[in-house]
Structure 1
Amino acid sequence: MASRPAPFAPFEFMIAWRYLRARRAEGGVSTMTWISLIGITLGVMALVVTLAVRAGFRTEFVNTVIGAYAHAEIGSYSYLDENGVSTTAITDYEALTAQLLAVPGVTRANPRVLGYAMATYGNQSAVAEVHGVAAKVLRDLPTFEGAPEPLGDIGRFDQGIAVGAGMARTLGLGIGDKLKLIQPNGVKTAFGVSPRVNVYEVVYIFSAGRADVDSARIYMPFAEAQSFFNREGGADQIEVYVERPEEIDAMVPALQEAAGEGRYVWTWKDRSGAFLRALSIEDDVMFLILALVVLIATLNITSGLIMLVKNKGRDIGILRTMGLTEGSILRVFFLCGAFTGITGTIAGVALGSVIAWNIDAIMSGVNWLSGGGAWDPSIRGIYRLPAELRAWDVGRAVGLSLILSFLVTIFPARRAARMNPVEALRYE
């Protein structure tokens, strides 16, 4: 007795390939195949590009948060000072900074004075978030790709202030201009508290890579900020930077122990955790929506195979009378759909990867054509549209497309396999 051929034998691939190359007389089948192929390609392409942009946006957001803010901030709960006045000032900030620097994994730490003031230049005014830090802290501030280039001389920071690029643009400031800062809780007199008004020279214009930070932040020398905000002998917080910012949660116990009682630890994840969780939820929702697009595209494979089975009824009957089993017929038509799905998936990944790698240039062109309104950094917070192709995201897109392509072929392939050869050849 002759042995049955192994599944997916070469002749099954040959028959499936011949069926896919339909003649002009069977143009309907060929047209449906092309529609299926193009639909899957576009669906996978959209999925790859969307996942890449979402991953890039999250990475860019995290990087700019880490660059614009400390990895962790050590503050003090309210307590009564020696005069019985409630305060949150850290008076032993030098000793506390040394203790935090001794924690394994901490790369640098510095005291900071934080306050708000009205910034006025000419007829323009804006609310400024003023950070009082040492010159070295400002010097270590990263400038990210796509952000405006810094201006001025950072070496003269002790002689003036540093202003964010967005605020400088809003107020019309340039290097050497005099900026007036008004602090309501200023000078204490016998008649009460009067506002403190100081004028500072703009010696440096920086960019932290985030539009919201650049439009509101001012850096001031630490000692000057202590005087301006009535923090003589104290600091508001200690900024801490670590080697692995993504693992900051694991370092919180050690930082809390070094900070001591009455102090708290506030990390960058605490600051932006809600937004990061929202991004994760949005990623899942976008994946599901685009998965439906891919599903609709793969359903065209079912339509094409049903038409193919109908047109090839005579061939199926002949093949069955020649000895082909139901399994062989099923695999032939399964391969027809699988070829379309695999080809569309490969083309979609290739096209999506090319777009993702060039998304910044593409978006710049769209922004130019739209007159600059397609990408507003003040709304999105970052200066460019990033994309990051990750193996996991590409794998998810490929897996989804192939699984759906294979599943939708099962019904028409089973229908072809169960076709009665006698009925198929009755009217031939």
Structure 2
Amino acid sequence: MFQRHERMIAWRYLRARRSEGGISVMTWISLVGIALAVFALIATLAVRSGFRYEFVDTIIGANPHVSVLSSGRVTEQGLVARSLTDYDEVAARLRDVDGVARVAPVVVGEVMASANGRNAGVQVLGMRPEDIAQVPRVSEPEESAGTLADLTGESIALGAGVARKLGVTVGDRVRIISPDGVRTAFGTSPRVKAYPVAYVFRVGRFDIDSLRVYMPFEEAQVYFNLPGQAEEVQVALDDPEALDEVIPRLAAVAGDDVYFWTWQDANGGYLQALQMEDNVMFIILSLLVIIATLNITSGLVMLVKNKGRDIGILRTMGLTEGTVLRVFFLCGASIGVAGTVVGVAMGCLFAIYIDPIFDFVNWAAGGGVWDPSTRLLSSLPARLEVADVLSAVILSLTLSFLVTIFPARRAARMNPVEALRYE
């Protein structure tokens, strides 16, 4: 597409002489501007993708993808019970559904934990030890103390945040206090029982680490006075994003008196906020790329004005308008390509080495830059996606080529007689 002499002339113009320092400065400003804009775009897209991946991973790594709940039934006392009595049968039917990875009946309760004169509101999940061992973020946490194998009988597992609040570790005892206790003639007395701590875990999500307590399923049934019952049946899927495909198959075998609550239902607000933030950040950073590429236009306009005499001589020697256009298009496109390559390299390196970079920033700022209690994640994530890098590259190159057309056409349409009139 480009002849050798066109590439040679374009390269000569990009290497401006000292007397033409203004052109050289504009070339470097354009290149650096595009590189920084592409770097910022890729870095932001990587952090954005990392946030969503880590957020979803910690949600579905410690929570069920689908919860099967009872629609409610009226007991002999006239009360509405929302527990499942045939939970094992329901779980067996759900396990046979295509796309289901694991199923576990669960007892759930909101209680208070107390130890060392400290109290904390916690959520108790009663699950069989073999089912707890299949919860990815709990069985393979970021940090842990003790082992899940010790979680048997009358022992419990605590999130690291709960353990820190109560000042306990493995081997200590924690009292679990439920206000819905034994009913007596003088009212309802709280149910209190002390349990040894067998396992402490940290999944990296603040609202789970500071709230979650696991208890053996049978012990939870006794403690919450639910003999032969489960609050829900939790289902994990092979592909958590395939809810629309799997839910109809689950509904076909679960029964008529149940309904489903998915991880997207529970966290839909967060996911929508992330998606909106993704779109807004991409638009804002795209404007930065547009501003950076406009420097190419200003630089080429200066170059065309400075090289008017050269253009006139080249036209009189027989170069066509198309040749002149391609020469100056090569000048602008080369700046855009070089800036894009540098920006992509910087952005990828930032995403790959974000942990040491963030550690340095945290150290330089004196610590406390990242607060997990407000951001829910324990570290700043970044995840390079091929689609994100390609979108940044396509945006930068497209804009670089487009803004080059105007000054290149202006140079091509220059009248050689006018260009040489005063020479």
* Fold conserved between structures, TM > 0.5: yes
Distance across 1 between alignment mates of 2:348 and 2:129: 43
Aligned residues: 422
Identity of aligned residues (%): 56
Question: C-alpha displacement at 1:364, in angstroms?
Answer: 2.0
Question: Does residue 37 of structure 1 match 2:49?
Answer: no
Contact 1:179 1:202 survives alignment (8 Å): yes
Q: Give per-residue Cα distances to partners, 1:14-72, cap 9 Å, x unaligned.
A: 11110000000000000000000000011101111111111122111111111110111
Separation in structure 2 between the aligned mates of residue 147 and residue 11 of structure 1, nearest angstrom: 62
Return 216-225 or 18-27, whichever deviates more: 216-225
Q: Which amino acid aligns with 1:270?
A: D
What is the alpha-carbon distance in structure 1 between the residues aligned to residue 205 and residue 139 of structure 2? 11
Contact 1:52 1:388 in 2 (8 A): yes
Superposition deviation, residue 140 in structure 1: 2.1
Deviation string, structure 1 residues 244-292 (Cα, Å, up to 9, x no partner): 2221221101111221112011121222233222212211111111111
Q: Does the 8 Å contact 2:138/2:201 carry over to 1?
A: no
Matched, 1:152 2:146: yes
Displacement after TM superposition at 1:146 (Å): 11
Deviations 1:94-144 (A, max 9, x none): 111111112122222111010111111123211101111111122223248
Contact 2:132 2:139 in 1 (8 A): no
Q: In the TM superposition, what is the alpha-carbon distance from 1:382 to its structure 2 partner?
A: 1.8
**Separation (CA, whole Å) in 1 of partners of 2:24 and 2:60:** 54
Query: Is the 1:103–1:255 Cα contact (8 Å) retained in structure 2?
Result: yes
Partner letter of residue 168 of structure 1? A
Which residue does 1:136 correspond to in 2? 130
The secondary structure found in structure 1 opposite 2:34 is helix
Counterpart-to-counterpart distance in 2, 1:230 and 1:371: 50
* AA at the equivalent of 1:111: P
| SS of residue in 2 equivalent to 1:246 | coil
Native 8 Å contact 2:183 2:189 kept in 1? yes
The corresponding residue for 1:52 is 46
The answer to whether structure 1 residue 353 and structure 2 residue 348 are counterparts is: yes
Match for residue 225 of structure 1 among 217, 220, 224: 220
The unaligned stretches of length 5 or more in structure 2 are none
Classify 1:37/1:144 alpha carbon distance in 2 versus 1 (closer, same or farther; 3 Å): farther
The answer on 1:195 being equivalent to 2:195 is no
Q: Report the aligned-residue RMSD.
A: 1.7
Preserved CA contact (<8 Å) 1:141 1:208? no
SS at match of 1:389: coil
1:303, distance to aligned residue in structure 2 (A): 0.9
CA separation in 1, counterparts of 2:299 and 2:322?
A: 20
Q: Per the alignment, in what secondary structure is the counterpart of residue 151 of structure 2?
A: helix
Quickly say closer, same or farther: Cα 1:182–1:146, change in 2 above 3 A. Answer: closer
2:56 corresponding residue in structure 1? 62
Distance 2:39 2:241 in 1: 30
Q: Give the residue type in structure 1 aligned to 2:98.
A: P
What's 2:72 paired with? 78
Counterparts of 2:183 and 2:139, CA distance in 1: 45
- Secondary structure of the 2:143 match is coil
Please state if 1:342 is matched with 2:337.
yes
SS of 1:8's partner is coil
- 1:343 and 1:72 map into 2 onto residues whose CA distance is 49
For structure 1, the residue ranges without an aligned partner over 5 or more in a row are 1-6
**For the structure 1 residues 143 and 253, does the alpha-carbon distance in structure 2 shift closer, same or farther, using more than 3 Å as the test?**
closer
1:147-184, Cα deviation, whole Å (9 max, x unpaired): 64211232221231111011111221111211112111
TM-score, normalised with respect to structure 1: 0.95
2:384 counterpart SS class:
coil
Match of 2:87 in 1: 93
Deviation at 1:227, TM superposition (A): 2.0
